[in-house]
Structure 1
């Protein structure tokens, strides 16, 4: 599913996502509003690797740009209450601190995560945004939240074959929520949460386009990353 690469100068190993055609088939869980969620047992932890697919009426460049930039993530991603870039390594790589909302009517309390995020372009206009949790001394675990862990995950954005002006998004998630949480609760809530993420992203990119002048975008993803 991913290819480990040590990126010089970062001190971190980057786990690059594998394009979706090379990922073994998952067990179908849900298909709702043209969003498909499937899963299989993760090889990284005692939990599931989820695969989510959705179609966006946006170019691959615009979609990956929107998903990559951290500034307005919490305005559209309703699963999060905090998403901050805490260290910009270069134009393609940054470290973020996120805090989730509670889920399942409070059965899953908020978690926080420290993730390394990496953007890479491939041939065929395919863009991949990879991420995984890392240790970052400036943001140690606190007593306020349970520190979760994201094993190699991310987004694969590629042109839709029958309509290259639109994009296919394939998202991989393998999140260890940690804490005293029954796996059955996570498995019961994760599919609907992932579908909501795709639907929220579709609404969010529409709102962003309207606010930025009917779809005018900057030329590249790196322009959105500014040191805070």
Structure 2
């Protein structure tokens, strides 16, 4: 499996989602976070778009979202998040286990995801995620194995204040199992707002300097119970 090619394709797909402003329907607004959705073209479910402002530099924000060291400590939707293979400095394969949600009606799921960060001009970073198969990590009886179609984050400087970031998140997760679509559609928007707020809270706790590699990039740009 050509993981690097898949990673590039996923990043391009997330960028295309970010540029496509047509057909979105706002399904929830709360605490300055907006969640929109439209039918996914890849499975029988929704593609979600979550956007808002994060009071942090884009380079800090993308490093924070890309690195897994503290993920479970701030992301309350997860019970485990582990890197299981490093392909290169910008591309990882991770195993994720989610918490149950929707008052327990959606049981924990696990995912094997290819995660990739792509640096764009203008200090924009794209962090893409897509589920893949990986030797040694087949589905087990402990969790339903979910599937993430191209999903990810777009971090860019806020035009009004470049020290702040505009964060746009795209989610199109196939939960698998025997869930009714209505259960997912009812619970997902609130969960996505909660995730966004968790990012803000996590950044306050885990402040970290920009690594040397990222500093150079910035300078260059300037010139789930089973059911």
What's the TM-score, normalizing by structure 1?
0.88
- Residue aligning to 1:219: 212
Matches within 5 A, 1:63-142: 63-142=61-140
Once the two structures are superposed, residues 171-208 of structure 1 have per-residue CA deviations (whole angstroms, 9 ceiling, x without a partner) of 00000000010110000010000000000010001100
- Residue aligning to 1:34: 32
Q: Distance in 1 between matches of 2:125 and 2:23?
A: 21
Runs of at least 4 residues of structure 1 off by over 3 A?
9-12
Deviation at 1:112, TM superposition (A): 0.2
Gaps of 5+ in 2: 215-227
User: Are 1:97 and 1:113, in contact at CA under 8 Å, matched by a contact in 2?
Assistant: yes
- Select the residue among 142, 158, 178 that pairs with 2:156: 158
Q: Distance in 1 between matches of 2:177 and 2:204?
A: 36
- Select the residue among 179, 182, 185 that pairs with 1:184: 182
Q: Distance in 1 between matches of 2:136 and 2:213?
A: 29
Cα distance, 1:199–1:11 mapped onto 2, change above 3 Å: closer
What's the TM-score, normalizing by structure 2?
0.88
Q: Distance in 2 between matches of 1:220 and 1:186?
A: 40
Matches within 5 A, 1:2-41: 10=3, 13-14=6-7, 15-16=10-11, 17-18=14-15, 20-41=18-39
Once the two structures are superposed, residues 50-86 of structure 1 have per-residue CA deviations (whole angstroms, 9 ceiling, x without a partner) of 0000101100100000000011100000000000000
Deviation at 1:137, TM superposition (A): 1.7
- Residue aligning to 2:55: 57
Higher helix share: 2
Q: Distance in 2 between matches of 1:38 and 1:164?
A: 25
Over the residues paired in the alignment, what is the CA RMSD in angstroms?
Answer: 1.5
User: Are 2:3 and 2:114, in contact at CA under 8 Å, matched by a contact in 1?
Assistant: no
Gaps of 5+ in 1: 1-5, 222-228
User: Are 1:65 and 1:220, in contact at CA under 8 Å, matched by a contact in 2?
Assistant: no
SS at match of 1:157: strand
- Residue aligning to 1:204: 202
Deviation at 1:25, TM superposition (A): 4.0
